[in-house]
Amino acid sequence: RGLASQTKAQQTVGTYFRYSLMDLLQKMVNGSPHFVRCIKPNDKKAKNTFDREKVEQQLRYAGVMETVRIRQHGYSHRILFADFLRRYCFLAFNYDERVLASRDNCRLLLVRLKM
């Protein structure tokens, strides 16, 4: 009897965890999650101490430095394939060509424009 009640308790905890995880995933799908990356200013947890190399390393690994470099070159936002094709497809496709929103069709547009 002890083993049966223990197995039932484990299933209940497992079931609770599964439903809890499914609920969390559903909330993430329905919402627009934003992630915050914390940058540690030093390894000693000392106040008013800033280790420049440590911070630069964290920013580089998080992709922040590359993003800044790209944005400095004028690529400040990303456009969806569908929006890109809706705006520019007439430059490279005939009016009777069926153009689906895809990476390949965006690439084909640029190829046809010799870009």
Q: Where are the domains of the chain?
A: 13-73, 81-113
- Distances in Å between the Cα of 79 and the Cα atoms of 69, 87, 88, 90, 113 are 18, 10, 12, 17, 18
Two tokens, residue 70: 């790209």
pLDDT at 47 over 80: yes
* Each residue's pLDDT tens digit, 93-106: 998 888 999 999 99
Instruction: Tell me the per-residue pLDDT of 7-43, one tens digit each, with 9 for 90 and over.
Output: 555 567 778 888 888 888 888 778 776 777 789 999 9
- pLDDT value of position 49: 93
Mean pLDDT of 50-69: 90
Higher pLDDT pick, 6 / 77: 77
